[in-house]
Amino acid sequence: MGYIVQICIETIEDMQTKNPIPPFDIKEIVRALYEMIAEDSPDASKAFLSGAREAVFREVFLFHYPAFRQRLYRCFPELDEEEELVCMLTALGASVEEIAELTCFPPIQVRQLYTSVCRKLDVTEKRKMRTLMKKLLS
């Protein structure tokens, strides 16, 4: 694991002991989004997490995990919006297939985003990236 990632993990673990945050389930978020923006809404789209739903998802996510984005960008300021979304969904435990289904990105694009995030995080294994994202949540 890269030196920067290790420092970030230590900082995050220190923050977690001071401000624990209860877990929030991705299935609950999806259900809430579906109720808020129905299929027949003009703001709905084929991709569950695009347009208005993506914006609402980000707001709900950041409401429940207000420090996530700050922690993420403090350690890794060069992530783009798609990579940030993948990080958010990964932190909630979503698999590549689930992310592809929610975003309507092809699975290969999600894998490429994972690879890009891993490279930027200086992490060689996707499993370590998932662990780091979960630590950023709490």
Q: What is the pLDDT along the chain (138 residues), one digit of tens a residue?
A: 454 445 455 555 555 455 554 555 666 666 665 555 455 555 444 556 666 778 878 888 888 888 899 888 888 888 898 899 899 988 888 888 888 888 878 889 999 998 898 888 888 887 888 888 888 887
Q: Are 110 and 67 in contact (CB under 8 A)?
A: no
Q: How many domains does the structure of the chain reveal?
A: 1
Residue where the block lists tokens 């996707």 = 126
Residue among 138, 93, 90 at smallest CA distance from 114:
90
By residue range, what is the domain housing residue 97?
3-137
